[in-house]
């Protein structure tokens, strides 16, 4: 793992950004607390200084000297010295210290430095010139406050250094995990690009954004793999299913060239070629129709569609066919109207294909029932028949293009009916499934959402 890869990862940069933000916020908080603490202690010191000045200023020199002597003998306070100096700066009474070279006219407390016991010390105090010419100095040692500030500053610096070190280690750890994940995903992506569509991006631990993106990409790869297999299957099936009519047409044309003598014989062979050509064109038209539906462009023109109208039109269209084949065709609409957003013509085509298939594979004397249930949590349309049904091993295959089961080989068709229904269902977000029943087949369309309470006149007619 190279350092440049680590630095360029989003997680590492985010960790560093949050570390800087935390450092700025912590520094501002520390400065505020330090400022407030210093102001609080300074205000308390100034209050004491002004109180003592107001106490000593009205006294004469003798009373001040006596009080200072008593103060030093009873309770000598080194942190709060009070001293009396003559006009030449010689100590007359009070705490032993040197008169600072400060402006004696300053009325407010101020900071200064002076010698005490031969050492330089820092104080905050006030000086007052007495009528006798002497100077009264009242001060408080601020050395501890300065030490407190130094300790607090050093602690902040040490804490900042430790936090920065831990933050960098954490950012490096998180960034390294991202780099490993990117490398793993890149390796899997290269395998997929090389043609192995069974590969999937690894979903490593956690529930972050990358994991969600991997989940979406894997879903996309599942769909791509399905489409690629479908395209391959379509190509194979086209080659297989087109070979027979092309062979018949070629054989008919060769026979016409060798055997036909009269115009009627030529016309008969030409008619046969036309029939085969129309069958192939019908197959290609169905393929183009499925591709157009799967493109999804028609979704923009969706309107509210009353499914009762769609089912009624489809049943009315195929009722003569059912009577001709001796199949009982019935419909049950329920009591709750069902309206969905969709393409009326496509929905009619899907329902019509299901009804047509059910009639086609139901033997004489059988029954086909179309049921529309709008009161369920997920409304459904089911088309059931009493025909031979679909073997369990073929239930997934019948939705593929050109697939025709052994039981349907004797029926006309190209194996694209259920593929077309499946494409229309996907376009409308409808779940298509093959239900279980004792005899025959039951195709179920489950709608994800619906608008109840509409009357048929409020919906776009399906025919």
Look at the alpha carbons of 221, 223, 224, 229 in this order and tell me if their dihedral is positive or negative: positive
Q: Which long-range contacts (CB under 8 A, 24 or more apart) does 218-224 make?
A: 221/192, 221/197, 224/197
Q: Is the pLDDT of residue 270 over 60?
A: yes
Strand partners, 384: 369, 442
Mean pLDDT of 28-44: 85
Q: In the prediction, which pLDDT does 75 show? A: 62
Q: In the prediction, which pLDDT does 259 show? A: 78
- Tens-place pLDDT, residues 368-387: 999 888 777 778 888 988 88
Look at the alpha carbons of 11, 12, 16, 22 in this order and tell me if their dihedral is positive or negative: positive
Rounded to 5°, angle at Cα 423 from 419 and 429: 140
Q: Which H or E run includes 442?
A: strand 442-447
370-408 core/surface letters (b: 16 or more CB in 10 A; e: else)? bbbbbeeeebbbbbbbbbbbbeeebeeebbbbbbbbeeb
| Rounded (to 5) percent helix, strand, coil in the chain | 55, 15, 25
Q: Give residue 425's pLDDT band: very low, low, confident or very high (50, 70, 90).
A: confident
- Tens-place pLDDT, residues 197-227: 788 888 766 556 777 888 888 888 888 887 7
- Tens-place pLDDT, residues 146-190: 777 788 788 888 888 888 888 888 777 777 767 777 777 788 888
Q: Is the pLDDT of residue 118 over 80?
A: no
Q: Is the pLDDT of residue 432 over 60?
A: yes
Strand partners, 332: 371
Which structural domains are found in the chain, ordered by start?
A: 12-149 (3.30.450), 209-295 (1.10.287), 297-458 (3.30.565.10)
Token pair for 395? 């239930």
Q: In the prediction, which pLDDT does 326 show? A: 92
Whole-structure pTM value: 0.45
């Amino acid at each position: 793992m190279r350092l440049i890869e680590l630095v360029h990862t989003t997680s590492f940069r985010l960790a560093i950004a949050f570390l800087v933000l935390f450092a700025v916020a912590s520094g501002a908080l520390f400065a505020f607390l330090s400022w407030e603490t210093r102001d609080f202690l300074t205000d308390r010191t100034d209050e004491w200084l002004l109180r003592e000045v107001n106490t000593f200023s009205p006294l004469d020199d003798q009373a001040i000297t006596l009080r200072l002597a008593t103060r030093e003998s009873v309770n000598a306070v080194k942190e709060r010295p009070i001293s009396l100096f003559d006009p030449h700066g010689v100590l007359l009474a009070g705490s032993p210290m040197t008169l600072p070279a400060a402006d004696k006219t300053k009325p407010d407390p101020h900071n200064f430095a002076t010698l005490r016991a031969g050492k330089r010390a820092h104080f905050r105090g006030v000086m007052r010139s007495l009528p006798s010419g002497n100077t009264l100095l009242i001060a408080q040692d601020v050395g501890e406050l300065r030490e407190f500030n130094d300790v607090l500053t050093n602690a902040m610096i040490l804490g900042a250094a430790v936090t920065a070190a831990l933050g960098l280690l954490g950012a490096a750890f998180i960034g390294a995990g991202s780099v490993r994940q990117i490398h793993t995903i890149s390796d899997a992506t290269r395998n997929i690009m090389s043609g192995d569509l069974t590969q999937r991006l690894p979903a490593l631990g956690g529930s972050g954004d990358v994991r969600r993106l991997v989940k979406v990409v894997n879903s996309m790869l599942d769909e791509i793999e399905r489409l690629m297999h479908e395209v391959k299957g379509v190509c194979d099936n086209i080659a297989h299913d087109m070979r027979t009519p092309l062979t018949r047409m070629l054989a008919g044309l060769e026979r016409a060239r060798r055997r036909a003598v009269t115009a009627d014989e030529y016309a008969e062979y030409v008619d046969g070629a036309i029939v085969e050509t129309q069958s192939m064109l019908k197959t290609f038209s169905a393929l183009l129709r499925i591709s157009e539906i799967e493109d999804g462009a028609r979704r923009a023109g969706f309107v509210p569609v009353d499914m009762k109208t769609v089912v009624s039109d489809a049943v009315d269209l195929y009722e003569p066919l059912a009577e001709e084949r001796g199949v009982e065709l019935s419909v049950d609409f329920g009591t709750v109207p069902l309206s969905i957003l969709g393409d009326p013509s496509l929905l009619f085509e899907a329902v019509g294909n299901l009804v047509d298939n059910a009639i086609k594979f139901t033997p004489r004397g059988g029954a086909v029932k179309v049921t529309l249930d709008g009161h369920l949590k997920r409304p459904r349309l089911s088309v059931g028949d009493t025909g031979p049904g679909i073997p369990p091993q073929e239930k997934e295959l019948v939705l593929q293009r050109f697939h025709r089961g052994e039981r349907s080989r004797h029926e006309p068709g190209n194996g694209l009916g259920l593929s077309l229904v499946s494409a229309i269902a996907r376009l409308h977000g409808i779940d298509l499934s093959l239900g279980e029943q004792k005899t025959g087949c039951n195709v179920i369309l489950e709608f994800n959402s619906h608008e109840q309470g509409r009357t048929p006149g409020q919906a776009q007619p399906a025919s």
